[in-house]
Amino acid sequence: SSFGGKSYTFNVAYGVGKAAADRLASDMSVQLSKYNVDTVALYPGLVKTEGNIEMEKRGEWEEASGGFDLAMGETPRFSGRAMALLAANSDMMKERSGKVVVVSELAKELGFTDEDGRLPPSIRSLKFILPNFVFPQIEKESGSSLPSWITDNVPDYLLPWSTFSGGPPPEIE
C-alpha cells in the first residue's frame, strides 16, 4: 500500500486503491485469524523503482513527483527485508496483523537498513516532510536558500497519523 491510503496523494484512483489495500489487510486479519493467518499493509516511502529511475533519467521525475528528491528514496529490496523479517517472526507479525506498517519505522525498530546501508526517513517524519514539502515552498516564496544549519539538522520526529487525514494539499503556485 502507501501513504495514499491515509491522505490525498496524486489522484482519486491512487488513493482509493491504496485505502482499499489497507482495508483488505485489516479485514483479512479479522476473518483469517482463526486460521492463524496474519496480514499487514506495508507502507514504503518514496521508492526507487525502475520506472521512477527512468523518469529521472529522462528529466520527467520532478514534474511527475511534485518535486520529491528521489535520492532520499528506498530500494524495493528495503520493503523485501521488512517482509522477510516479519514472515520469519510469527509473534512480531501477529502483533502487527491488520495494521499499517511503515517500512522505515520497522527498520529503525529492528535495526535493518536499505541495501546502501542508509535508513531512509519515514514518510511521516519531519526529516522527510520538511525537505520535500516545507523547505522548497519557503525557498520559493523567499527567493533564497535556507541556511544549512536548518536543512542539515532536521529531527527525525514522527508526526501522528491524524495530521494526514485531511483533503488534498494546497496548490503550490
Residue of 8, 14, 35, 157 marked active site: 14
* 157 catalytically annotated: no
Question: What DSSP assignment string belongs to the chain?
Answer: --GGGTS--S-HHHHHHHHHHHHHHHHHHHHHGGGT---EEEE--SB--HHHHHHHHTT-HHHHHTS--GGG-B-HHHHHHHHHHHHH-HHHHHHHTTEEEEHHHHHHHHT---TTS--PPPTTBHHHHIIIIIHHHHHHHHSSPPPHHHHT-----BPPGGGG-SSSPPPP-
Distance CA 40, CA 25 (A): 5
Which residues are known to be catalytic? 14
